[in-house]
Amino acid sequence: SQQGEEDPQALSIQEGENATMNCSYKTSINNLQWYRQNSGRGLVHLILIRSNEREKHSGRLRVTLDTSKKSSSLLITASRAADTASYFCATGGTNAGKSTFGDGTTLTVKP
């Protein structure tokens, strides 16, 4: 199956709530990246976390990485309607930039 599998596939929450998405992968990685995609658009990079890092923050985003469990999570705090999008994790290997994407989590934030 695909390297990088997100869970859940779909998530619907109210504005102001936190949203947590998980990503599991199978092989060794150099880094793990999270991206956001609005419908019909390209992907936007959110956070890259390296294999020797355990946690990283960027604004309302918090990413954790557990290499022993081969999993990562993305937490969006105090969600807004504008956070509605699909979120993908991608695992980076040694090949420059060649990352493998999961199937994504579709997040809907209701106003």
Partner 1 sequence: GAVVSQHPSWVICKSGTSVKIECRSLDFQATTMFWYRQFPKQSLMLMATSNEGSKATYEQGVEKDKFLINHASLTLSTLTVTSAHPEDSSFYICSASRGNDSPLHFGNGTRLTVT
Positive or negative torsion for Cα 40, 95, 56, 67: positive
Q: Which is nearer to partner 1, 30 or 71 (CB)?
A: 30
Estimate to the nearest angstrom the gap between the alpha carbon of 65 and the chain centroid. Answer: 11
Nearest distance, CB of residue 102 and partner 1, angstroms: 6
Query: Could you tell me the smallest distance in angstroms from the CB atom of residue 52 to partner 1?
Result: 11
Cβ atoms 36, 85 nearer than 8 A: yes
Q: Least separation, in Å, of the C-beta of 77 and partner 1?
A: 22
User: Binding residues for partner 1, per CB under 8 A?
Assistant: 2, 30-31, 33, 35, 40-45, 48, 50, 88, 90, 92, 94-104, 106
Which among 100, 107, 97, 99 is positioned nearest to 36, based on CA atoms? Answer: 107
Smaller CB separation from partner 1, 44 or 82:
44
